[in-house]
Structure 1
Amino acid sequence: MPVNIQKRFCFLTCDAASYLGDNLRGIGSKFVRSSQMLTSCSECPTLFVDAETLLSCGLLEKLKFSVLELQEYLDTYNNRKEATLSWLANCKATFAGGSRDGVITCQPGDSEEKQMESLAQLELCQRLYKLHFQLLLLFQSYCKLIGQVHEVSSMPELLNMSRELSELKKNLKDATAAIAADPLTTESEPTFNSTEAAIQSILECLKNNELVKAVRQIRECRILWPNDIFGSSSDDEVQTLLNIYFRHQTLGQTGTYALVGSNQSLTEICTKLMELNIEIRDMIRRAQSYRVNTFLPDSSISGTSL
């Protein structure tokens, strides 16, 4: 699952849990745990394959439905995320500091403001739950897509470069870490006159295992030709280098693929996430039941929205 979605989701969850209070019948901490489980999942595997091979092995047809399903879940997730963000912002603006004691209550003697705050907090929990459940659906669909992609590895007629690119990816990450650890160490880098010359130089570095030099060169190319084949500064430079390497290693031929990423089965974490979502749903229902049984607000209060 894309890292940017995970990060924003985790930030929103922690922000909402902080507003609600960590001891809010345990709901806040459960939401945080759910987000941590999702964000701890392995990174998205990458499939390297040419268009002709993608068609000939039948993978394109297999992926069509899963991609459409993913897009539908993602659109709904984004809508629910915006609704949750808006509600949280309104809660913060309307009520000072959120829950004081970390418990949702609506007692008969409470002030109207306290009653409204409790109702608003319960609504926030409901919206956050729907958001978490939608991301779970997105995650399950994503896992199904990964499973379909992994089926490619069972096709003997294809040339598998997965191990070669996986090793290159690991070493490139080590190279970027080495540069980050010693940023003051520089070397004389050529200023390329053309993209063709730059690509040829980068390929030579990758083939000769001069990976630190290759990373530095891709960074220089992004300055010289922003948003070109080298990508922008916000793109993953390791991924860009892998794209260049695979494209030119398989130039003029078909039937080659590489699947780079975790082969870990994600069934177990899907099951745990579903169990946690059910637990959160039941906690919210109990909190709602407690509110109804202890205090029945009049229609003017229950019908008010932020």
Structure 2
Amino acid sequence: MSDSDGSCAVHTFHVFSSLFQCIRKKFCSLTWDAASFLGDSLRGIGSKFMSSSEVLTSCSDCPTVFLDAETLISCGLLERLKFNVLELQEYLDTYNHKSEAAQLWLANCKASFPGTMGDTVITNQPGDLEEKQLELCQRLYKLHFQLLLLFQSYYKLIGQIHVVNSVPELLNMSKELNDLRDNLKEASALIAVEPLKDEFSSHGLTVTSSEIAVQTMLECLKNRDLITALRQIRDCRTIWPNDIFGSNVEDEVQTLLNLYFRHQTLGQTGTFALLGSNHDLSEISSKLMELNGEIQDMIQKAQSYRVISTYFPDTSTSL
């Protein structure tokens, strides 16, 4: 954490926003896969895991912040941001570890019971299956709970930055960037239903460097020729992979917003923008907390029933 001038810290939100997209995709895929394996067993706990996954899916964007390093320092936010980032990194490392543990156990379950499909089981050892399913639920629950902690940590980080709203000397570009983001999303949706065209060729543009490409995109953004800007950044990612234009796995809208903000504030300080709603993040965190509590309760009940059926195999109580 030797970032004394804030030049690295200002990119925290952009990095996490991109990371969030990746986490969400993998998390939902793993949850769906595990829920399919569980089927209707264990009192339908798989559907509860799916509900938790759907809450995350409903959050298409992660709230993010744009501001310059000087503003970060002048508002006394740099050290607090560093502390929150360390906490966020710790939660992220633990999340990755638990994600790997859940994936490995699910693979183990599938290998042990290849005939399992939902609640239809081709095996002579149903007790072993239940034991493995319970362990899968435990690992999946820990993963979902760790995601909740990660969300809450980022929510706290965003909350720290909201103090800039109360500084009248600062220029607030939030409305401008939120409007631009919404318009870019609409343009992206239009591209999705149209044949992809090479806008560089159709407009007769000659791009000889990434710097010229950036200027071309910025002109498109200023003139609200957003479809062209989106197509150009896709081409630039092919020509200059992992450069200033980012990679294909990164959100192109977020990258364009970042380029636009950096250009608009070039050579000046005291500007910020808050994208997305902090309230939305808080609401999602609350929903995840509620679902995690329900999942934990269901797992505990399933474990209790298993203990009863183990010691009293003739009991009428069953899963």
Shorter chain as normaliser: what TM range? 0.7 to 0.9
1:59 aligns with 2:77: yes
| Residue of structure 1 in register with 2:93 after alignment | 75
Q: How many residues get paired? A: 290
2:34 to 16, 19, 43: 16
Are residue 96 (structure 1) and residue 108 (structure 2) matched?
no
- Residue 3 of structure 1 corresponds to 21
Q: Does 1:132 align with 2:144?
A: yes
Structure 1, 33-42 or 247-256: larger mean CA deviation: 33-42
TM-score, reference length from structure 1 = 0.86
User: What SS does the corresponding residue of 1:264 show, helix, strand or coil?
Assistant: helix
Q: Distance in 2 between matches of 1:265 and 1:101?
A: 36
Instruction: Single out whichever of 281-290 and 217-226 deviates more from structure 2.
Output: 217-226
Say if 1:19 and 1:97, in contact at 8 Å, map to a contact too.
no
SS in 1 for 2:272: strand
CA distance in 2, matches of 1:229, 1:295: 60
Q: Distance in 2 between matches of 1:100 and 1:29?
A: 11
Give the distance between the partners of 1:136 and 1:155, measured in 2 at CA.
Answer: 31
Give the alignment partner of residue 300 of structure 2, picking from 262, 285, 293: 285
SS in 2 for 1:26: helix
Other-structure match for 1:84: 102
Superposed CA offset, 1:66-106 (max 9, x none) = 21111111111111111111111111111233377479xxx
- Whether the 8 Å CA contact 2:137–2:299 is kept in 1: the answer is yes
Contact 1:22 1:102 in 2 (8 A): no
Quickly say closer, same or farther: Cα 1:49–1:289, change in 2 above 3 A: same
Shift in alpha-carbon separation, 1:73–1:191, aligned structure 2, 3 A: same
SS in 2 for 1:58: coil
Separation in 1 of the partners of 2:174 and 2:118? Answer: 54
2:5 is matched with which residue? Answer: none
Q: Deviations over 1:177-221 (max 9, x none)?
A: 222222256633412123333232222222222222222332333
Which of these two proteins has the greater Rg computed from alpha carbons? 1
CA gap of 1:271–1:263, structure 2 versus 1, over 3 A, is closer
Q: Which residue of 2 aligns with 1:236?
A: 251
Aligned mates of 1:207, 1:287 — CA distance in 2: 58
**Aligned match of 2:218:** 203
Q: CA 1:156 to 1:291, structure 2 compared with 1: closer, same or farther past 3 Å? A: same
- Matching residue within 273, 277, 285 for 2:288: 273
**Contact 2:155–2:278 under 8 Å retained in 1:** no
Question: Which residue, out of 148, 151, 164, partners 2:176?
Answer: 164
- Specify every segment of 5 or more residues in structure 2 that has no aligned partner in the other structure, as ranges: 1-16, 313-319
The 1-side partners of 2:285 and 2:229 are apart by: 38
Q: TM-score, normalised by structure 2?
A: 0.82
2:191 aligns to what? 179
In the TM superposition, what is the alpha-carbon distance from 1:39 to its structure 2 partner? Answer: 2.5
Aligned partner of 1:46: which letter? T
The one-letter code sitting in structure 2 at the alignment partner of 1:26 is G
List per-residue Cα deviations over 1:248-290 (Å, max 9, x = no partner). 2111111111122224344344333223222221221121111
- Displaced runs of 4 or more, over 6 A: none
Q: Is the 8 A contact 2:91 2:146 kept in 1?
A: yes
| Range with greater deviation from structure 2 (70-79 or 278-287) | 278-287
Q: Which of the residues 273, 276, 283 maps onto 1:258?
A: 273
Q: Return closer, same or farther for 1:288/1:166 CA change in 2, 3 Å cut-off.
A: same
How far apart, in 2, do the equivalents of 1:16 and 1:30 lie?
A: 12
Tell me, yes or no, if the aligned pair for 1:159 and 1:256 is still in contact at 8 Å. yes
Q: Name the stretch that deviates more: 139-148 or 196-205.
A: 196-205
Q: Distance in 2 between matches of 1:19 and 1:180?
A: 33
Aligned residue number for residue 300 of structure 1: none
Distance 1:189 1:22, change over 3 A: farther
Identity %: 66
Structure 1 residues 239 and 61: CA distance shift in structure 2, 3 A: same
Q: Give the Cα separation in 2 of the matches to 1:283 and 1:230.
A: 46
- Aligned position for 2:238: 223
CA deviation vs aligned residue, 1:1-53 (integer Å, no higher than 9, x gap): 60211121111111111111135312111111112122323511222212111
Task: Give the secondary-structure state (helix, strand or coil) at the position aligned to 1:87.
Answer: helix
